[in-house]
Amino acid sequence: MRNKILSITRVFPSVTTYNTAILFFRVMVSIELILAHGLKKIGVGVPVAEVIPNPFALPESINASLAIASNLVFPLFVIFGVFTRLAVLPILAVTLSGYFVVHFNDSLLEKDMPYMYSISYLLILIVGSGKYSIDYWINKFATKP
């Protein structure tokens, strides 16, 4: 009975559980970002492409490129674990600007989506991509003597 209670209340997961959880988390969050926001920005699955806000008055081509890359390209880097921490930065730039600038005066229901994506990608930025990633193999071979 004691062992069952200890296994249920274990604070630190095993290394395999940790790496599997990080893989699952980064893949699922990135797929959701691509499907829910990225494809709409290029007009896939909707009659008209989504209007991309430009809160910082950047040139339209730069603003659109950053938004589309942050919602379509960089999540693919995160899924495969390629330069994960670097790929998360533009995603965070878009989601945090959505939260703090675009939806600043909106209700919490409107702010919910950029907030959740920002928190999720901040976690990925902090913990990294884990063992099941291309980053792991790059690091493993780069540090070989």
Residue 134: the pLDDT is 97
3-state helix, strand, coil in the chain (%, to 5): 70, 0, 30
Residue 3: the pLDDT is 86
Give the Cα separation of 41 and 46 in Å (integer): 9
CB-hemisphere CA count at 13 Å for 81? 20
Helix (H) or strand (E) holding 35: none
User: What tens digit of pLDDT does each residue of 122-143 get?
Assistant: 999 999 999 999 999 999 998 8
DSSP state of 10: -
Enumerate the H helices of 81-133 as residue ranges.
Answer: 84-97, 108-127
Give the Cα separation of 68 and 91 in Å (integer): 10
Please state, rounded to an integer, the average pLDDT across all residues of the chain.
92
Residue 93: pLDDT band (50, 70, 90) is very high
Percent residues over pLDDT 70 in the chain: 100
Residue 88: the pLDDT is 98
Which tokens go with 67? 């938004």
C-beta of residue 130 within 8 angstroms of C-beta of residue 25: no
Residue 144: the pLDDT is 79
Q: Which residues of 32-56 are buried (b: 16+ CB within 10 A; e: fewer)?
A: ebbeebbbbbeeeeeeeeeebeeee
User: What tens digit of pLDDT does each residue of 52-75 get?
Assistant: 888 898 999 999 999 999 999 999
Helix (H) or strand (E) holding 30: helix 15-33
Cα-to-chain-centroid distance, residue 92? 8
Mention every residue, 6+ apart, whose C-beta is less than 8 A from residue 16: none
- For the residues 75-100, what does the mean pLDDT come to? 96
Q: Which of 14-23, 52-61, 83-92 has the least mean pLDDT?
A: 52-61
Give the domain ranges of the chain.
14-142
pLDDT over 90 at 48, yes or no: no
